[in-house]
Amino acid sequence: MNIIIYTLVFLGITYFLLKLVANTSSKKISKHLRKLIFLGMIILAILFVVAGKFLLSIPLTLLSLALVKLKGFSIFQLIGLFRLIQTLRSSGRFSFNQNQNIKNSSTITLEEAYKILNLDIKKKITKKDVQKAHIKIQKKIHPDISPETTRLSMIVNEAKEVVLKNIV
């Protein structure tokens, strides 16, 4: 008798879940499913770490990072942004703890400008190369994409101006 009751409860729950899925928009289902998969991967990665399977948790964590791009940066854009922030931090031009108005009038050295734009100072650089590098970085950090990157965008613009003044 218990099997019949459990089967009816299971079928009833299945029926209501299927009815809910049928009445929900596919965009909403996709958004929630991505979030659910992301949280599931994080929980599974934490379980593997706790269980001592650290090597198995790394690929699951990296796979879940691909799902982060719901409305933001892709993993490659995050890596590029991280490298740019590290370069600026090492040169002392960017810090999260500083007041953002402190170094607005500072000038960037030529070496720092080349490094910020990912250009090789030893090679012969043209104006077109500088423009390409500038556009490539600005696509990742433009303030229209993310308002938090306004200061980074200003630094990249200043680096471009310094390099262009040196070329001409």
Question: How much of the chain exceeds pLDDT 70, in percent?
Answer: 76
Indicate whether 48 pLDDT > 90. no
Q: Do 141 and 88 sit in the same domain of this protein? A: yes
The 10 Å CB-count burial string (b at 16+, else e) for 104-117 is eeeebeeebbbbbb
pTM exceeds 0.95 for this model: no
pLDDT score at 71: 54
**Considering 39, 66, 93, which residue would you say is the last residue of a domain?**
66
Indicate whether 12 pLDDT > 80. yes
What distance in Å separates the CA atoms of residue 140 and residue 116, rounded to the nearest whole number? Answer: 13
Band (pLDDT 50/70/90 cuts) for residue 67 is low
Q: Which helix (H) or strand (E) holds 100?
A: none
CB 110 within 8 A of CB 163: yes
140-143 CB contacts, 8 Å cutoff, 24+ apart: 140/73, 140/77, 140/80, 140/81, 140/84, 141/81, 141/84
What distance in Å separates the CA atoms of residue 106 and residue 113, rounded to the nearest whole number? Answer: 13
Of 100-104, 115-119, 149-153, the least confident: 100-104
**Residue 104's CATH number:** 1.10.287
Nearest alpha carbon to residue 98 among 89, 111, 107: 89
Q: Do 83 and 139 sit in the same domain of this protein? A: yes
Structural domain boundaries enclosing 10: 2-66
Number of compact structural domains in the chain: 2
Q: Do 45 and 128 sit in the same domain of this protein? A: no
Average pLDDT over residues 106-128: 86
Of 39-43, 53-57, 155-159, the least confident: 53-57
